[in-house]
Structure 1
Amino acid sequence: MTTTLTALTGFIAWTLFLLILMEIIRSGLVIRKTVQANAFRPDNANLSPFMQRLARAHANCLEGLPVFGGIMLVATLSGNAAITDPLAYTLLGARIVQSLVHLASLSVMAVNIRFIAFAVQIGIAVYWTFRLLTH
């Protein structure tokens, strides 16, 4: 498997991890009868601030996956993984940093760090797209 496909699998695994974490916590709330099973909102607006951040971090991954994953798949399927391989783990690392900081805090500093992590991902995606289109 190429570095690109490994990083894409990591991105998918990270997204899945956030979903499983959210569902484990939600299940605990139901078992403890803190929240009724039918009372959850998609954005966890009726739950703790951490759960709201977790829902948003998961949604961020889902929103980014078609763009970043799509570019990675195009590169791989077109035989151009050499374009994406060098920065594939950087993109994955930036995504994980973005999520972890999102889970930790909504402070101004945290939001700035999240933005930087997201900007790294966007910069990589733009670079990859340009390279793939001009290759």
Structure 2
Amino acid sequence: MENGQLSHARVRPGGPSPLLLRTVREHRPEAGDISVLKARGTVDASNAADFSTALAGHIGHADETGEQLVLDLTEAYLACSDAVRALERATAFLAVSGRVLPVVEPRPHVRESLRTAGLPGVRVHATMASALNPPEPRPAPAPPGDT
């Protein structure tokens, strides 16, 4: 399924579009080496497990190579709760280690599904720039009496 391969989902006229995952690797001066997994089509019960496996492998590869990872859902649909659970399974170890997978430009219904699910290993971004250059954390306020 990765690198431009179709999932095992059946293509039906008028039905959901097949899932296609493609990896794009590039170097950006402001962000270093990045690896973008672009999902196109529909993640549903028929291919959610394949999606989860491919995404987990992609995350593992990025960890090994030190690439910054981004999931691009611009052209993807999460058709059911199985799709959201697949994303949760693939990002679970990121959440445990306090890290997140940046997800960029999801369609409004996908963004709402992710917001509702509250996945701790996923952070949604409106643009690639915001995913690659998150804002600096604010300093903690000084305790009362400290000057």
Q: Shorter-chain TM-score: what band?
A: under 0.3
Which fold has the larger relative contact order, with Cα–Cα distance below 8 Å and residues 6 or more apart in sequence? 1
Structure with more of its chain in strand, by fraction: 2
Q: TM-score, normalised by structure 1?
A: 0.22
Structure with more of its chain in helix, by fraction: 1
